[in-house]
Amino acid sequence: MIREFAAAKVNLALRVGALRDDGYHPVDSIVVFADWGDALSVAPADDLSLCISGPQAEGLSPGDDNLVTRAVRALATAAGREAAGSITLEKHIPAGAGLGGGSADAAAALRAFNRLWELEWPLDMLAGIGAEIGSDVPACVWSQPLRMTGRGERIRPIDAWPDFPALLVNPSLPVATGPVFAAFDQAPAGTGAAFRPTADTGMQAILESLRAATNDLTDAAMSVQPVIRDVLDTLSTTGEPDMVRMSGSGATCFAIYPTASHRDAAAAPLQATRPDWLVQPVVFSGASAITPA
């Protein structure tokens, strides 16, 4: 059996351009991956099957429209072989959370079956296949700090990056991406600042650059799901966060703290006062989140 970790994807900064003629928005995003997420196991089998379990499995379909099975079929087509294997997916990332859960699962499936079938294809080839499945899949194939541009298919890995202790907070309410982008398209023109790289790779220098950037979807997401503002305001008052922001198209927000001790001190009262929210202490890793072969 082969196991792959499907790390939660977090947009530290996200600039979004106007809708293109092909139906996509150009993006410019700094992406990192948490040390928390889903787990995917695969084993040889005569046909293709998917079993979903875990605390966030309810309501998810294991059918052919699932991104995991779509990814396996796409890889099989590219490899000229039959799509066959037994897949078990343990879900911890909520659906509609702005954490790329489905994309992370699809990317993990590409990496897992690449190993199971002994293809030995490099990540850039797997990312190319992933781009046909979803805009976030290429980034999740790499699962390391990176800059994502185009509609998400252009990946530039970032090699020198610190670990960031952080809290992920989701109000247990899904937010579909489509309505958020629709609200963004209806808003007045203009986007915020993009991340500007710094030669100093220390935590404080990078945080300063990140704080000067934005997530352009925040206002649109709050118009679709107003509780996001409550999450952001609440996180801003927990401990001494260095930065508070929404990830992706929401509803998950995050706070970065100076140390793991600051993070844990902020998490405990929040978990006690908001038991209806998902409050997850994490580290945004400066290294690859891919399971070693």
DSSP assignments along 170-206, one per residue? E-S----HHHHHHHHHHSPS---PPP---S--SHHHH
**Which of these, 178, 5, 2, lies nearest to 91 by C-alpha position?**
5
Q: Distance (Å, rounded) from C-alpha 285 to C-alpha 265?
A: 20
Q: Other C-beta atoms within 10 Å of 207: how many?
A: 18
- Around Cβ 226, how many Cβ atoms within 10 Å? 9
236: Cβ contacts below 8 Å, ≥ 6 apart: 244, 255
Closest by Cα among 133, 166, 161 to 147 = 161
Catalytic residue among 9, 28, 91, 105: 9
| 238 Ramachandran zone, left/alpha/beta (phi>0; psi -120 to 50) | beta
Backbone angles phi, psi at 113, to 5 degrees: -75, -25
91 flagged as catalytic: no
Query: Which residue type sits at 266?
Result: A
CA dist 150 and 66 (Å) reads 24
Question: How are beta strands 2-16 and 27-43 bridged, if at all?
Answer: antiparallel
**Which residue out of 28, 38, 136, 242 is catalytically annotated?**
136
How is residue 27 written in tokens? 């993006």
Residues serving a catalytic function are 9, 136
